[in-house]
Structure 1
Amino acid sequence: MASTFFNNKARAAAASSNSKPKVTDNKEQNRLAPWVEKYRPKTLDDVAAQDHTTKVLQRTLQASNLPHMLFYGPPGTGKTSTILALAKSLFGPALYRSRILELNASDERGIGIRSGCRIPRPIPVPAVQDHYLDEADSMTQDAQSALRRTMETYSRITRFCLVCNYVTRIIEPLASRCSKFRFKSLDNAAAGVRLQDIANAENLKLEDGVTDTLIRVAEGDLRRAITYLQSAARLAGTSGLAEKSSDGDEEMADAGAPGPGIITVRTIEEIAGVVPESILDDLMQAMQPKSSGSSYGAVSKVVTDLVADGWSATQLISQLYRRVVFNEAIPDIQKNKIVMAFSEMDKRLVDGSDEHLSVLDLTLRISGIMSGTKA
């Protein structure tokens, strides 16, 4: 080992071999890419369920008068995909990477973020550079005020696109300089069509109801739904089945490629961390008012088993909320008190309270409210 290290010829050969760039097939890179990036819309026409926004942007491109823009809406609704598709239409696939500067405001929240908004390279007029600032609602008000002045200074050759989830966190002087575009949550039909197209492209076998389950557990976030689908495909592809190679030898199926197994509804629910309905049934049964004695023992046993199995308290409360609030057998006056208990418990979990004690306290309060022993 030492002789090889001190051998000048060996060291030179190793250095030259490491310096050579590794050529990777584009097809191989595309196969290994996450499906969120692999199936990201390439043009504005490919953006799903945001027809009003895409029509306005297409007319703006035709007029050659691009304003500063503010995209806001829930996560996974296509904000980033839209601005990238717009940049490709504006600059072309070959030049858009050199004309767009992507920044994440959550990394640099302070006033120093304005240094990243200065022109990093000379660009000939009338060429325009686009600055894409993600999670702009994470910036402090001082940083947003500094960015306002930067936008005015470089407005001749630069356009800014601010992307955020909460438009109310953007200061009014900054928001008034931008054209606002609201991105709504994808409806079930549009999200289902996109998920089905991805499944067909990847040759996936889906059980009936898988697409609806993906939409339900993702809660309107298409990016999350696509990630769940890819995880389920990988799980189905690692079943240990062997496939024939081109030279006749048997080799293990690639873990990244979809296997011959069928993706089931239960597989999606397990990946998403959804609590099984049977466990919720046991919990609801334990919380029912007892004719004699307290329900503490039954509730405590079910909650202890839930925590021991590793189920998320946030996910449990979300599903329990739908079970209780939409239960027509519970009077409205009791639902009002139960909703207040849910809101307090959600705040406690956000603040980092113990999940076991929080879930136990919530379920016992709900049981007391339903039995009429707790106001």
Structure 2
Amino acid sequence: MSEPMEIDSTKNKGLTWTEKYRPKTLDDIAHQEEVVTMLKGALKGRDLPHLLFYGPPGTGKTSTALAFCHQLFNKNIFHDRVLDLNASDERGISVVRQKVQAFSKKTLGSSKEDVLKLKIIILDEVDAMTREAQSAMRRVIEDYSKTTRFILICNYVSRLIPPVVSRCAKFRFKSLPREIQLQRLRSICEAESFLMRKGELELVMKYSEGDLRRAVCMLQSLAPILKNENITSRDCYLNGSSDETLISNVCDSISVSDVPQIIEITKSITKSCSGVSFIRRCFQKMLDDDIINDENIAIMGKLVATCEKRILDGCDLENNLLDFLLTLRETLH
């Protein structure tokens, strides 16, 4: 998400590490050259379109939007010019009418087409908004385009209605390479004065599944334990946090488990790890162990995709995991 940065730890005391080590300028954003080049041009006065940032979580979408706005507006006018909302918290049409439209109507004393005379609305997780709210937002984008620019951020662009997508310049954020993630985690460890071996950092990366924000959160939660110099206790804690034993037991026993046993397994999963993470890692484990083969891989791939989509759409986690495990048993029986 960014290159190593010098940070005043006293000034940032009390912040979560994701905020403390968030990139502050566009130069701090790593591996997203296309969008950074475009935004640097906007800083020099070039036209700024409505923007749509999409791609995997933890790749720097929100950080890029905030870094750009902080460079565009000085701190005295930042809060008057920038509205930052999370659409997953307020996903209905009311947020468009009450907050987005009200902010768009604010005047700045001049209508001259100058990027410094614009207001910017950052709408994060916009793919969580209802279709009615997206339709209302499309009208606001049209009506106030002379004074307001939108930066829409989402993981799944397919969940947005076409009229919204067509009004934005789209930029896909690429997954961060392993070396960039390792470099970032190492720099945070150094800034926080505790050391981790390369293998330990790779475990954190593995469990975060490419999401650097999630890796930084995990690093902060592990820090008090990992400052322990006892190698055995560090290894036990890191390996214990992975739920690898649970996943291995499920893969080995699912084909011979009865329904009551599968219900108990489902309850154990919901208590210890996220549903999507479990499904993905279980699928990978079965691939590695050749439990999934050429005969059943199409069925299994469809099952994983269906259950993952339901969970991400907000359907009941326990019911979907139960459906996943029961279907898995029938497939492997």
Match of 2:284?
322
CA distance in 2, matches of 1:155, 1:319: 44
Match of 2:81?
99
**Cα displacement string for residues 297-342 of structure 1 (whole angstroms, at most 9, x for unaligned residues):** 8x98799589569544835443332122233476421444555665
CA distance in 2, matches of 1:311, 1:151: 42
Q: What SS does the corresponding residue of 2:65 show, helix, strand or coil?
A: helix
Quote the offset at 1:230 in angstroms. Answer: 0.5
Match of 2:99 among 112, 116, 124: 116
Match of 1:187 among 177, 198, 218: 177
Which shows bigger deviation, 174-183 or 216-225? 174-183
Match of 2:43?
61
Q: Partner letter of residue 232 of structure 1? A: L
CA distance in 1, matches of 2:161, 2:310: 29
Q: What SS does the corresponding residue of 1:206 show, helix, strand or coil?
A: coil
Quote the offset at 1:107 in angstroms. Answer: 3.2
The change in CA–CA distance for 1:270 and 1:286 in structure 2 (over 3 A counts) is: closer
Q: What SS does the corresponding residue of 2:136 show, helix, strand or coil?
A: helix
Match of 1:275?
243
Match of 2:13?
31
Q: Is the 8 A contact 1:228 1:268 kept in 2?
A: no
Match of 1:147 among 121, 133, 137: 137
Match of 1:365?
330
Of structures 1 and 2, the one with the larger relative CO (CA 8 A, separation 6+) is 2
Q: Partner letter of residue 326 of structure 2? A: D
Match of 2:31 among 49, 69, 87: 49
CA distance in 1, matches of 2:138, 2:308: 36
Q: What SS does the corresponding residue of 2:24 show, helix, strand or coil?
A: coil
* Matched ranges for 1:70-109 at <5 A: 70-109=52-91
Q: What SS does the corresponding residue of 2:210 show, helix, strand or coil?
A: coil
CA distance in 1, matches of 2:127, 2:108: 29
Q: What SS does the corresponding residue of 1:333 show, helix, strand or coil?
A: coil
Return the TM-score normalized by structure 1: 0.70
Quote the offset at 1:283 in angstroms. Answer: 5.0
Q: What SS does the corresponding residue of 1:55 show, helix, strand or coil?
A: helix
Q: Is the 8 A contact 2:93 2:132 kept in 1?
A: yes
The change in CA–CA distance for 1:334 and 1:82 in structure 2 (over 3 A counts) is: closer
CA distance in 2, matches of 1:302, 1:167: 35
Quote the offset at 1:228 in angstroms. Answer: 0.2
Quote the offset at 1:168 in angstroms. Answer: 2.1
Match of 2:157?
167
* Matched ranges for 1:266-345 at <5 A: 266-271=236-241, 274-277=242-245, 280-286=247-253, 295-296=256-257, 310-312=271-273, 314=275, 315-328=277-290, 331-339=293-301
CA distance in 1, matches of 2:99, 2:181: 35
Q: Partner letter of residue 66 of structure 1? A: L
**Cα displacement string for residues 246-280 of structure 1 (whole angstroms, at most 9, x for unaligned residues):** xxxxxxxxxxxxx6666945534544xx2235x55
Q: Is the 8 A contact 1:76 1:224 kept in 2?
A: yes
Return the TM-score normalized by structure 2: 0.78
Q: Is the 8 A contact 2:300 2:328 kept in 1?
A: no
Q: Is the 8 A contact 1:275 1:311 kept in 2?
A: yes
Structure 2 portions without partners, runs of 5+:
1-7
The change in CA–CA distance for 1:265 and 1:216 in structure 2 (over 3 A counts) is: farther
Which shows bigger deviation, 311-320 or 121-130? 311-320
Which shows bigger deviation, 324-333 or 175-184? 324-333
Q: Is the 8 A contact 1:106 1:135 kept in 2?
A: yes
Quote the offset at 1:366 in angstroms. Answer: 5.3
Match of 2:214?
224
Q: Is the 8 A contact 2:182 2:201 kept in 1?
A: yes
Q: Is the 8 A contact 1:300 1:360 kept in 2?
A: no
Q: Which structure would you say has the larger Rg? A: 1
Q: Is the 8 A contact 1:128 1:159 kept in 2?
A: yes
